[in-house]
Structure 1
């Protein structure tokens, strides 16, 4: 599913003020724009909460999931014109350097902001931003505590950790660059009580969610093979539901030709609710795969890379990676032909059986 194409409820945030009126220092945390990247960055935000900070997350994705993250205050993504004054609304801003609206119509706000905000990025970082932060801009009574949170080097991905997934990279960054001690890879996502009660319907067949798209066409497995896997699962008495962004629904209605249901997922919260009721999720390298993993669901993730230590693999509940058996990634659009329907079906059946064993134990 292309997580850039969701309609997101971005009702305005209530006013945020520095913590001079509150005991806990207030941090505004600005995430990347994409679903998967946003979720990975929340490893940092959640560990700030665990360390005693009051955190407001500015992100369309997280704002839509606000009821799933009770530990955060949330607000929509920061507008270009709002960024210059953002440090005045808190004690410290922590901003992903790839966040939406930092660059607009040739104007790059990052160099000026770096004097007053701590910048980081998961994998695409501008090293000239390192060392620009001015500690004298911090509240005097909090300077010693907050200065230690400003990364010396803002790149989260550590090339020395070659087998680590990005969740592990984010966790290591919390310790290495921010000095946080009581850390966890958990992002604190919890299904709201109403969601938990409505997503569990014992009388129904076990549900498999298929997410056949992603943020880039080149990362997508072939549509007809997803449909073939769905048909095989249906014959094995599973209920199969497809999840795509609203803008992709017409195309996938054509692919499915009425054979399978397309879920009504108008936003990320709808998608999370759908995934909560799933026994397993089949997806490309996409935000949906990361969200399902964060929710603790078994994920079969179809990728173009033949590296079983692919760093962008889902990093909460371990996913099963299915990739080409031969090195064809360098040939554009060819890799999907080298991932068979039977392999994806076999791996899906394996994770379902393993999950059943876990439930029994």
Structure 2
């Protein structure tokens, strides 16, 4: 192992002594974003809390760049290539990246002000990632009022939850092991429509063909060429249901109540959307052993169970002391 690799392996999520006063206007940090949407939205919680404390924060990442109009408090640029990263990031006293080894693998080996969130991500904690990252911001940077918010705000011209009866369903995920059964999503959509709700599936364009083969009475299929257009549509939707995915984190960051289907309790504990009101659905308790749970979790969750959980979520939202809005960002 070379010197750079050894430094990287031994580094934790702190950079040692010498952190400037968080209230100083000269405190500056660059944030290198993961290519994953959910990771980006959660890491921006740390960036937002630094901005609130008077820091200048520059963000590098493609999802963040696409959503720049929703984050006017940051200076946002596209993702850095490995060839340009060293020259650009050397200008910053502190560089924050969620993972130690990605998207820039050697960053921790050469930048003395490198900070990662490995320990926060993998800590034994009952909290979701949004709350963990807010707590990290408070502890690491000495902030006294860190909040579970990435500061996302809608551009002018959009109306929050304008289509209150619209249920946005995202039946896909980044990997097959996160996806509930497609036919169960179709069954769920029929139940929701029978209850008087407007249901629409949101998919990437490349995913549409296989859904069109599942049923003749699918709800409308929506695809968007950019994260910003997806965000605008979600912001005006009333509800979100989906698999463990970045789209669920986006809906939550926008203040939309979420219901997420998860394959394991441990995964849900860490990765449930945590920006606003939301619930989860887990596999049935009767499936024995971890191996069988991993194999049969999809079959153990019925459309009826998800429908029941959605009904409970609607009652919880209706019973809140004041209507939810896009500014609420606390973990629930």
| Range of TM-score over shorter length | 0.7 to 0.9
The correspondence of residues 40-55 of structure 1 with structure 2, limited to 5 A, is: 40-55=42-57
TM-score, normalised by the number of residues in structure 2: 0.81
Contact 1:210 1:243 in 2 (8 A): yes
Q: 1:303 aligns with which of 262, 265, 268?
A: 262
Q: Quote how far apart the aligned CAs of 1:101 are.
A: 4.5
Separation of aligned partners in 1, 2:116 and 2:108: 13
Separation of aligned partners in 2, 1:189 and 1:288: 14
Separation of aligned partners in 2, 1:311 and 1:181: 23
**SS of 1:55's equivalent?**
strand
Match of 1:233 in 2: 192
Q: Quote how far apart the aligned CAs of 1:304 are.
A: 0.9
Match of 1:194 in 2: 157
Match of 1:248 in 2: 207
Match of 1:353 in 2: 315
Q: 2:116 aligns with which of 109, 117, 120?
A: 120
Q: Quote how far apart the aligned CAs of 1:247 are.
A: 2.0
**SS of 2:225's equivalent?**
coil
Separation of aligned partners in 1, 2:167 and 2:268: 25
Contact 1:33 1:100 in 2 (8 A): no
Deviating more after overlay: 219-228 vs 266-275: 266-275
Contact 1:50 1:182 in 2 (8 A): no
Q: 1:167 aligns with which of 98, 121, 130?
A: 130
Separation of aligned partners in 1, 2:202 and 2:155: 21
Structure 2: runs of 5+ lacking an equivalent: 1-24, 324-332
Displaced runs of 4 or more, over 6 A:
none
TM-score, normalised by the number of residues in structure 1: 0.75
Q: Quote how far apart the aligned CAs of 1:89 are.
A: 3.8
Match of 2:40 in 1: 38
Separation of aligned partners in 2, 1:220 and 1:36: 16
Are the structure 2 counterparts of residues 24 and 253 from structure 1 closer, same or farther at C-alpha, using a change threshold of 3 Å? farther
Separation of aligned partners in 2, 1:74 and 1:188: 14
Are the structure 2 counterparts of residues 306 and 313 from structure 1 closer, same or farther at C-alpha, using a change threshold of 3 Å? same
Q: Quote how far apart the aligned CAs of 1:60 are.
A: 0.8
1:27-54 C-alpha deviation (Å, 9 max, x unpaired): 2211222111111111111011011111
Separation of aligned partners in 2, 1:360 and 1:175: 27
Q: 1:330 aligns with which of 281, 288, 291?
A: 291
Q: 1:60 aligns with which of 59, 62, 70?
A: 62
1:52-78 C-alpha deviation (Å, 9 max, x unpaired): 111111111111111111111111111
